Amino acid sequence: MKKKNIAVIGCGDWGKNIARTLNEIDHLAAISDHHHSRYAADFSNQYNIPLLDFKEVLKDDTIEGIVIATPAETHYKIAFEALKNGKHVLVEKPLVKTLEEAESLKNFAIEQKKTLMVGHLLMYHPAFQELSRICHSGGIGGIKHIASSRKNFGKIYHKDSALWDLGPHDLSMVLKIAQSPIKEVFAVSRNLVFKNLNDIVTLHLTFKNDITAEINLSRLNPFKEQKISAIGEFGAVVFDDTKEWANKVITHKGTVEELDQEHVKTVPDFKGEASILKSEQPLKLELEHFVHCVATDSNPETPADEAIQIMEILMAADESIAKKKPITL
């Protein structure tokens, strides 16, 4: 029988999905929600698990891990107290608000010998894992450029810019594909809803291995876009999460024909080849991975180091927007 050993801290818009999924895999031990969201009490009754104060969670020795899905400004204090009390911790993105807090948590987790994992969900998406496999297997030759787009029209949080709200998802994927330190960051943005928070951002990255990337983010787009493309020496692979599973990952093998000494033409493969994927819920895979890390004391696929690297890029992008010039890292 599986062990119910994970508590969820925060049961709001995303926390409710975490609680539901942990219950499905039979690991939900308790819910703690300071704001008493309408989901918390319902889930407590529906799943027959306790609704606890955070201090009660910390004192419960049967709870080995916690998942933090609270506002970002509360992450550091909650995660630190959990680690201090011997709990393994999964924190939804962003890990914390400052690099100092991130480094502090990372070092404290090492000192406590506990897992500190960050919720970069798309790292666990079967379609992205397939795209990454194709890129790193040489299936389209050496990677030259990465383009991603994350756009929608929906809820806007008054404390988070589009860059910090949406950017970590795409940055985690771009970093996985590029596998190189960043050399330069340049970003432009528009603030349309709140004066001090950007709603539309374009982010240009240059890596030390000469791969380039462009990330487009918007919370004011009339239609949903969730797409990333990797362009290689002799083809491209596209992961479009708005497509059905049969068409989420398409590889296009283009060719270049020489016409004369000064002219060439590209011959694209418009149809492409679709990858065969197993339809699996990324959140379930992410939480199963956390459960595995808790059980085995193993290192997570999305550790604090990854979150720190992403935070450094986001901070450089904020600086670039403010100064209206590229920032060298």
Q: Which of 227, 240, 234, 239 is nearest to 253 (CA)?
A: 234
Sorted by sequence, the CB contacts under 8 Å of residue 247 that are 6+ apart come out as 240, 274
Sorted by sequence, the CB contacts under 8 Å of residue 48 that are 6+ apart come out as none
Q: What are the b/e assignments for 291-310, b being 16+ CB within 10 Å?
A: bebbeeeeebbbbbebbbbb
At residue 137, the pLDDT reads 94
Q: What distance in Å separates the CA atoms of residue 250 and residue 264, rounded to the nearest whole number?
A: 25
Where in the chain is CATH 3.30.360.10? 123-281+311-328
Sorted by sequence, the CB contacts under 8 Å of residue 283 that are 6+ apart come out as 17, 18, 21, 121, 124
Q: Which of 316, 314, 318 is nearest to 327 (CA)?
A: 316
Q: Which residue blocks in 113-211 are alpha helix, DSSP H?
A: 126-136, 162-178
Where in the chain is CATH 3.40.50.720? 6-114
Encode pLDDT of 205-224 as tens digits: 999 999 999 999 999 999 99
Query: Is 6-114 in CATH node 3.60.20.10?
Result: no
Encode pLDDT of 274-298 as tens digits: 999 999 999 999 999 999 999 998 8
Q: Which of 167, 160, 172 is nearest to 71 (CA)?
A: 160
Q: What distance in Å separates the CA atoms of residue 212 and residue 193, rounded to the nearest whole number?
A: 30
Q: What distance in Å separates the CA atoms of residue 178 and residue 215, rounded to the nearest whole number?
A: 13
**H or E element in which residue 249 lies:** strand 249-252
Which amino acid, one-letter code, is at 306?
E
At residue 1, the pLDDT reads 45
**Whole-model pTM?**
0.91
Fold of 123-281+311-328: Dihydrodipicolinate Reductase; domain 2 (3.30.360)
Name residues of the chain where pLDDT drops below 50: 1
The helix/strand/coil state of 137 is: coil
The answer to whether 233 touches 141, Cβ cutoff 8 Å, is: yes
**H or E element in which residue 306 lies:** helix 304-323
Start-to-end CA span in the chain (Å)? 49
The answer to whether 99 touches 308, Cβ cutoff 8 Å, is: yes
Strand 235-240 with 212-218, pairing: unpaired
Q: What distance in Å separates the CA atoms of residue 207 and residue 82, rounded to the nearest whole number?
A: 36
Q: What distance in Å separates the CA atoms of residue 91 and residue 73, rounded to the nearest whole number?
A: 12
At residue 3, the pLDDT reads 87
At residue 271, the pLDDT reads 79
At residue 213, the pLDDT reads 98
**How far does CA 10 lie from the centroid of its chain?**
18
